[in-house]
Structure 1
Amino acid sequence: MSTIMIVEDDPKINQLLQSQLEKYGYNIVNVEQFDRVMTVFSEVRPELVLLDVNLPKFDGFYWCRQMRRVSNCPILFISARESKMDQVMALENGADDYITKPFDYDVVLAKIRSQLRRAYGMYAPQEGERTVEVAGLKLFMERMELCLDEARIELSKKEALLLESLMNQYPRVVSRERLLEKLWDEQFVDENTLNVYITRVRGKLKDIGLDGAVETVRGAGYRLKAYWEEV
């Protein structure tokens, strides 16, 4: 039985989400004191978090960043804020998905199931560390860590999946469609969401000295350029 933590200050939405999800066997923990979000998170260790943006004390973006410092569990935002900027902010701060209110409970349930499968079920990494290497650049999937010589940097789960696709296909081009399928399974997401993760991965590569390592191939997709191998 998976434990889902709900961080939502609207009691009616809280109650409806809890009753719907409990019908399908999920254990639900509601946060009632919004200055203790991380305390509850550390005590409960949920498999998934449903998180609102507008909260007392600090907003959901803040709490998402705090959770990401200690956990890679799936985090889904549920918010009445519909702007693309809010959705981009959520993804930039480590969220796995963003659902706008009013929402369909079947859609919420499908997204929860998909995220749980990816994190812990049939699509989760198998035992034994999975590594990918291109020209000395090493990706450790279970650690979600990228290394080049002495430089090391941590990745989010989707950043690691994106890089795994590019490295496995090196030096070939990976289509946007294939990346969307790899990162979000059967979910329907705006293609701009992929742009956000491409930007984030480029930033992570730049942090270890690999600026320009992900090339956009117009009309086709993206590919990894191991230009440092030639230096």
Structure 2
Amino acid sequence: MQKILIVEDDQKIAQHLERELKKYGYDVFTVIDFTTVLSDFNSFRPHLVLLDINLPSFDGFYWCRQIRKTSTCPVIFISARTGEMDQVMALENGGDDFITKPFSPEIVLAKIKSQLRRAYGEYSTVNKERIVEESGLQLYPERLELTFNGQTVSVSKNEANIMELLMERYPRVAGREILLEKLWDDQTFVDENTLNVNITRVRKKLKELDIHGAIETVRGVGYRLLITW
């Protein structure tokens, strides 16, 4: 499900947008505290942002610049400002499109679909983000995150590599040698306990997602992912 963040201080407009977007199957989060826009963005990790210009504390141009420091997700400005310079400013500050108020829901939905296609779909010109998935458990190797049932935990590079191999080889056993090769180019420099320590850390991260007993130790061989959830 694609996620959309709404940053709009007019409560009626924000609620109207949220209702319309949810009706079409989008997962929507509406910002309430306009001092925490960036932290809400980082927590929700939306595929697209609808962003007003006139906001309390800092304007939409400011927040778009902050988002652009870490993300290239589409940002559509929605504003009552109709001047050409405002639209130019929106684009120069990192926006992808501009919608003037009042607007029709059909126009907003059409522009959202267009931007999502360009960023992630058939018109995308960038490499799509890689996702490794098994039975609802999702690993985002580039983000170094594990997600399950709406919860997300951060993982280290080694932990991500272990999970990726276990998930790709499921239900087969991932041998110790294969795991070591995945983690380190030359396993002769790796202490015998290093892999065990990393496996323990991965198990702890899975427990944070309320997944228990999902990594089985196959004595003398390696490890295997078990679907226990």
Instruction: Map 1:54-73 to 2 at 5 A.
Output: 54-73=54-73
Query: Structure 1 residues 8 and 126, CA, compared in 2 at 3 Å: closer, same or farther?
Result: closer
Q: 8 Å contact 2:75–2:96 — kept in the other structure? A: yes
Name the SS of the counterpart of 1:98 in structure 2.
strand
Structure 2: distance between partners of 1:59 and 1:126: 29
Structure 2: distance between partners of 1:82 and 1:35: 26
Displacement of 1:75 after TM fit? Answer: 0.1
Structure 1: distance between partners of 2:30 and 2:4: 9
Structure 1: distance between partners of 2:114 and 2:126: 17
Displacement of 1:125 after TM fit? Answer: 3.3
Q: After TM superposition, what 4+ stretches of structure 1 lie above 4 angstroms from structure 2?
A: none
Structure 1: distance between partners of 2:97 and 2:42: 22
Displacement of 1:81 after TM fit? Answer: 0.7
Structure 2: distance between partners of 1:84 and 1:126: 29
Query: Structure 1 residues 14 and 127, CA, compared in 2 at 3 Å: closer, same or farther?
Result: closer
Counterpart of 1:36 in structure 2: which amino acid?
T
Displacement of 1:126 after TM fit? Answer: 6.6
Partner of 2:99: 99
Unaligned segments of structure 1, at least 5 residues: 129-231
Query: Structure 1 residues 72 and 127, CA, compared in 2 at 3 Å: closer, same or farther?
Result: closer
1:82-102 per-position Cα deviation (integer Å, ceiling 9, x unaligned)? 111110000000100000000
Counterpart of 2:78 in structure 1: which amino acid?
I
Structure 1: distance between partners of 2:84 and 2:8: 21
Structure 1: distance between partners of 2:90 and 2:31: 20
Query: Structure 1 residues 104 and 69, CA, compared in 2 at 3 Å: closer, same or farther?
Result: same
Query: Structure 1 residues 126 and 57, CA, compared in 2 at 3 Å: closer, same or farther?
Result: closer
Instruction: Map 1:18-29 to 2 at 5 A.
Output: 18-29=18-29
Instruction: Map 1:3-152 to 2 at 5 A.
Output: 3-125=3-125
- Larger Rg: 1 or 2? 2
Unaligned segments of structure 2, at least 5 residues: 129-229
Query: Structure 1 residues 43 and 85, CA, compared in 2 at 3 Å: closer, same or farther?
Result: same
**Percentage of pairs with the same residue:** 62
Displacement of 1:124 after TM fit? Answer: 1.4
Displacement of 1:123 after TM fit? Answer: 1.0
Counterpart of 2:101 in structure 1: which amino acid?
K
Displacement of 1:3 after TM fit? Answer: 0.4
Displacement of 1:2 after TM fit? Answer: 0.5
Give the TM-score of the pair, scaled to structure 1. Answer: 0.54
Name the SS of the counterpart of 1:81 in structure 2.
coil
Q: 8 Å contact 2:80–2:102 — kept in the other structure? A: yes
Structure 2: distance between partners of 1:43 and 1:126: 23
1:177-214 per-position Cα deviation (integer Å, ceiling 9, x unaligned)? xxxxxxxxxxxxxxxxxxxxxxxxxxxxxxxxxxxxxx
1:4-58 per-position Cα deviation (integer Å, ceiling 9, x unaligned)? 0000000100010000111110000000000000000011110000000000000
1:111-156 per-position Cα deviation (integer Å, ceiling 9, x unaligned)? 000000010111113759xxxxxxxxxxxxxxxxxxxxxxxxxxxx
Structure 2: distance between partners of 1:113 and 1:9: 23
CA RMSD of aligned residues (A): 1.2
Q: 8 Å contact 2:119–2:126 — kept in the other structure? A: no
Query: Structure 1 residues 71 and 102, CA, compared in 2 at 3 Å: closer, same or farther?
Result: same
